[in-house]
Amino acid sequence: MMRASRIASLTALVLLGSALAAHAQVRMRATLDRSDYLLGEPVNLTVVIENLTGNILDFGTKEDPQGSVYVEIFDSSGRLRSNYQRVNGSYAQANPMHGVKVAPGVRHVVDIPLDAFHDLSKEGDYEMRAYVTHKRMKFEFESRRLRFKIRRGKVEWQQYLGVPGAAADAPIQMREAKFITMKAEEGIIAFFQVQDDDYIYATVRMGRMVLGSPTQVEIDSRSQVHMLVATQPRVIGYYVYDLNGKMKDNRFFEVATSVPRLEKDPDIGRVMVAGGKPMVRSERFDASEIEVMDMH
């Protein structure tokens, strides 16, 4: 789709609509990586631009922009939630097209972390649309509207933990680790999140989980968080994360003659899985769904 950059009258735009569609110079498609997000989780947009102008589109530099890709996001009340004012046809501070040249007939892919440039710090329902502009083109081209939700989720477990590695006389930094669940279209999603009063260090989308065996959590001597989570009926996932949100271990166990459980050695702080039947890699159900969202 496209919209006239300088036509103020909606009636005029409607009358010109059929003619503009017949002379499209850019074809674009925008997609989100999902439709349901946990508050604090990265919201990633992919925009595909196909150049049908028959000419090279040089989008210029930050100092001399010739065009841009920008996004407008609206909350459920219709209020614009963009952090940046649109200046001279582009978002000067958030333009992902600086230094990009798109040859005729070529498709260019742009990945945009929406939460880095827009205020998505509140739970709610949102709508967004992406636009591409260029000084050599008469019209702006727009994507279809995309809808997504941001939810707070339910904190099932939380604990403040000291960050290892501080000098003997230095203050100990504290971070809060959380196990969070969220209802989404595909079911109940499990998350691991690490934050302090000022910063979210990581949000990890662990994957789908099922109700059944209760989630077990233990902390080892290095402040690593060990969790047993039911990912499928009679299947328990074992996850280990450090306080940067980095996955240190991930295995799966079948509930056989015994149920998997976490055991901690009180003398050395080591945590191990006891019970259950270890599953081989080809039997893992949710391994492909595990995603680490590093917020550094």
Four-residue CA torsion sign, 113, 115, 119, 123: positive
Categorise residue 89: left if φ over 0, alpha if ψ from -120 to 50, beta otherwise. Answer: left
What pLDDT is recorded for position 70?
87
Residues 42 and 61: their CA atoms lie apart, in Å, by 27
d(CA 233, CA 82): 43
pLDDT at position 52 is 94
pLDDT for the residue 1: 55
Look at residue 8 in the predicted model and tell me its pLDDT.
Answer: 39
Please tell me the number of Cα atoms within 13 Å of 88 on its side-chain side: 10
Quick check: helix, strand or coil at residue 76?
coil
Residue 119 phi, psi (nearest 5): -80, 100
Whole-angstrom Cα distance, residue 245 to residue 291? 11
Contacts 24+ apart (CB under 8 A), 42-45: 42/113, 42/115, 42/203, 42/293, 42/295, 43/113, 43/114, 43/115, 43/120, 43/148, 43/150, 44/111, 44/112, 44/113, 44/114, 45/71, 45/111, 45/112, 45/113, 45/114, 45/128, 45/130
Domains of the chain: 2-150 (2.60.40.2970), 153-294 (no CATH)
Instruction: Provide DSSP, 43-59.
Output: -EEEEEEEE-SSS-EE-
Q: How far apart are CA 89 and CA 143, in angstroms?
A: 17
pLDDT tens for each residue of the chain, 296 residues long: 555 443 333 333 333 333 334 456 899 999 999 999 999 999 999 999 999 999 999 999 888 989 989 888 998 888 877 644 443 444 445 688 989 999 999 999 999 988 887 888 899 999 999 999 999 998 899 999 999 999 999 999 999 999 998 888 899 999 999 999 999 988 999 999 999 999 999 999 999 999 877 999 999 999 999 999 999 999 999 999 999 999 999 999 999 899 999 999 999 999 999 999 999 864 544 443 433 333 33
Give the largest Cα separation in the chain, rounded. Answer: 79
Give the bridge partners for 236, in sequence order: 230, 253
Question: What's the pLDDT score for residue 115?
Answer: 85
Return the number of other C-beta atoms located less than 10 Å from residue 17's C-beta. 14
Q: SS3 for 178?
A: strand
Q: Which residues touch 171 (CB under 8 Å, ≥6 apart)?
A: none
Element (H, E) at 13: helix 10-22
